[in-house]
Amino acid sequence: MRLIPLIPILNNPMMSKFYFLYLLGCALVQPAAGQINFLGKPGVMTTPSASWEEDRQLGFSFSYVPREYSGEVMGKNGNTLHFYNARIGISSFMEAGINIAYRPLFQRTGIGDRHLDFRFRFLQESNYFPSIVLGWTPPGSAAPVMSHDYLVATKNIDVGVGRFTLTVGYGSPYVFPRNINNIGIWDILKVEDKIIFNEANYLSGVFGSFIWSPVDFAGVMIEYNTNTVNAGAYFKLWDWLHLQGYAFEGKKVAFQVAGHFPLDFLPFSLRKHEKNLD
């Protein structure tokens, strides 16, 4: 929101330098977003948060979940999981994400389970208020094993020894699979208890996470995903490349790699010319 009124200034080549300085200033005061969970949504480890990626609208990530805990985050499972995720910020209040869950050790696997969901931001973080985000999965999938509907709030607090990021959320205890035996348009969907349907208690109820970032490029984190308590650390290699490693209940290690890219760049020839002018 803060960036929008300044964008027309970019048309003026002289002002774009000031804009760059302004962006640099923002980077120093704004909390460094970019941590994502195993599904590629802003968050940590296995829980989502209400963080919002402002400047890098496109994200790709890969995550690994060990066999012993795959059933805890994606029901009826028992297989090692590889997640391939993409996320795209469509506006300052709407983001879409897709996931492919691939089971590398499974015989008849195809490309894996596909999943699409959306995030909507209701409130932008300010000095006193947290950011609030609604995560929503369009209902009607035949096997909604990755469906999550949640409301979550996140607040960053600068303390003397770095930054604390606090997240609290509530996950819906229901899933809405497709009713194969429907007779009309009104009973296309079924309502099922998520815990019974997925045979796992994941993200149904109150969840939360806590990050401590003593420096800009690294931090430690702990979370409760309504089922297990997990802890780990993140490391930012470059602004666009982030690594995360964590352990489920301190027992089995999982990790993820994420890349974040801006989409509002100029064509290559124009960028090259601007560079030559500078």
Partner 1 sequence: MRKTWISLVIFCVFCRLNAQNSDIQKLLFAAGFENVQLLEQADTLTIFFEHREFRSPGHSIQYAQLLIKDLPGKILNWVPIYHNVPIGTYAENGVHFKALGKSQRQFYRANNEPANAYRYHLRLQPDLSARFGYYSDPFQIKFNMVLDSRIYLAPGLSLQTGLLIPVENRLDAQDMKPRLAPSMLHYFAQPWNNHFLAASIGTFYYDRYGFDLQYRYAPPAGRWSFGLETGLTGFYRLNSGSFYAETMQDLYLLGDAEYRLGFENLSLKLTAGQFLFEDKGARIDLIKQYGAVDFGLFFAGTQTGETLGFQFAFSLLPGNVYRNQKLQVRTTEEFRWEYSYNNEELVARRYRIGMPRLSDNLRQYNINFIRHL
Question: Judged by CB under 8 A, does residue 57 bind partner 1?
Answer: yes
Contact 87, 70 (CB under 8 A): no
Contact 152, 168 (CB under 8 A): yes
Rounded Cα distance, 251 and 68, in Å = 10
Q: From the centroid of its chain, how far is CA 244?
A: 13
Closest approach of partner 1 to the CB of residue 1, in Å: 11
Question: Judged by CB under 8 A, does residue 265 bind partner 1?
Answer: yes
CA atoms within 13 A on the CB side of 276: 6
Site string for partner 1, 74-113 (x = CB under 8 A): --------------x-xxx---x-x---------xxxx--
Closest approach of partner 1 to the CB of residue 14, in Å: 11
Closest approach of partner 1 to the CB of residue 92, in Å: 6
Of 80, 71, 160, 157, whose CA–CA distance to 112 is shortest?
80
Q: Which stretch binds partner 1 (CB under 8 A): 7-15, 41-49, 68-76, 124-132?
A: 7-15
Hey, which residues between 175 and 204 contact partner 1 (CB under 8 A)?
Answer: none
Hey, which residues between 106 and 165 contact partner 1 (CB under 8 A)?
Answer: 108-111, 114, 116, 138
Closest approach of partner 1 to the CB of residue 88, in Å: 6
Q: From the centroid of its chain, how far is CA 188?
A: 29
Enter the tokens of residue 200.
């796992």
Contact 164, 157 (CB under 8 A): yes
Nearer residue to partner 1 within complex by CB, 4 or 183: 4
What letter does residue 83 receive in the DSSP assignment? E
Looking at 29, 127, 185, 264, which residue binds partner 1 (CB under 8 A)?
264
Closest approach of partner 1 to the CB of residue 264, in Å: 5
- CA distances to 24, 225, 231 from 251, rounded to whole Å, are 40, 16, 10
Contact 131, 51 (CB under 8 A): yes
Please provide the size of the chain in residues: 278
**Residues contacting partner 1: total by CB under 8 A:** 31
State the residues that interact with partner 1 by CB under 8 A.
4, 7-8, 10-11, 13, 57, 88, 90-92, 96, 98, 108-111, 114, 116, 138, 263-270, 273-274, 277
